[in-house]
Structure 1
Amino acid sequence: MVIMKAKVNKVTIQIMRGDVYSAGTVGIAVQTNSDLELNETLLAKAGPNILRETSLIGWCDVGSAVMTGKGNLPDPIEKVLHVVGPRWGEGSERGKLAGATFECLRLAESNRLKSLALPPISTGAFGYPLENCAKTMIGQVID
């Protein structure tokens, strides 16, 4: 469900409620840790090939992201961006979140992804306040 839609320069931004798997985008970003451990939902939906890809990559720094294929995820998904955001309270959270967001956008652009579902990175289990997250991530998209 689209909550808000805005056009910034050549980019259309939609704020949506739901999960990235049903967003209808060619790229999806999923939260992970530096060891690139897959969450149960992604592993169940994408299958073992995506696990093999992340195992070959091995590591991703906090504030960064890596890209894999889609495994068994349905079309139109083509790529999965595994993003490592900061845990609230670890220090330099805003800069790390900005870096993670920027890296997702850079990967999407350099791989010519026409659309990307980008969830609120580091909220939930990582404890990042949702409002702070939104300000930082939207700021990166606009820049």
Structure 2
Amino acid sequence: MIRVWQGNITTLAVDAIVNAANNSLLGGGGVDGAIHRAAGPGLLAECRLIGGCPTGEARITRAYNLPARHVIHTVGPVWKGGAAGEDDLLAAAYRNSLALARDHALSSIAFPAISTGIYGFPTGRAARIAVDTIRDHRAALQVTLVAFDAGTAQILEEALG
């Protein structure tokens, strides 16, 4: 099941929330910064031990002060116009996050709109990639696509069709 929810991803009590992280995993702006602030210093300490994450891959940590049980950190691509493999890298970020959820026997996961903020990925294109990748995965997961604003929520709903 896939649903769209508008709000703050840090408030969701799911098995895992996905962090749209940077390669260092050490926090940043947008959803990454919000997750790190809400989780507290334990998350940063655990992320330091991981040593980073390449674009398209994912890593899992505890969630510390968040209502979720885990944080899955994934690094989406920076938009460079569409000819630099961005679509494949974004799909890989979703696929690898879903694989970690499966490998850890999780039943619910919440994704932000990966790469659509400061990384500049066009929201509609990213939404279609997200929905197609999640549907292709065929996992027995409850998936929540989280939109921070009404415009993104509408785009995600349209991608769900």
TM-score range (shorter-chain normalised) is: 0.7 to 0.9
Residues 1:114 and 2:107 aligned together: yes
| Structure having greater relative contact order (Cα 8 Å, sep ≥ 6) | 2
The amino acid that maps onto 2:95 is F
Alignment partner for residue 36 of structure 1, among 17, 20, 25? 25
Aligned to 1:86: 77
Q: CA deviation at 1:131?
A: 0.5
Q: State the distance in 1 between where 2:85 and 2:5 align.
A: 27
Q: TM-score, normalised by structure 1?
A: 0.86
Q: CA deviation at 1:42?
A: 2.1
C-alpha RMSD of matched pairs (Å): 1.2
The 5 A counterparts of 1:1-143 are: 12-39=1-28, 40-74=33-67, 77-89=68-80, 91-143=84-136
The amino acid that maps onto 1:51 is L
Q: CA deviation at 1:22?
A: 2.1
Q: State the distance in 2 between where 1:19 and 1:48 align.
A: 20
SS in 2 for 1:30: strand
Q: How many residues in Structure 1 have an aligned counterpart in Structure 2? A: 130
SS in 1 for 2:118: helix
Runs of 4+ in 1 over 6 A off after TM superposition: none
The amino acid that maps onto 2:9 is V
| 5+ residue gaps, structure 1 | 1-11
The amino acid that maps onto 1:17 is Q
Aligned to 1:9: none
Q: CA deviation at 1:16?
A: 1.4
The amino acid that maps onto 1:48 is P
Q: TM-score, normalised by structure 2?
A: 0.77
SS in 2 for 1:126: coil
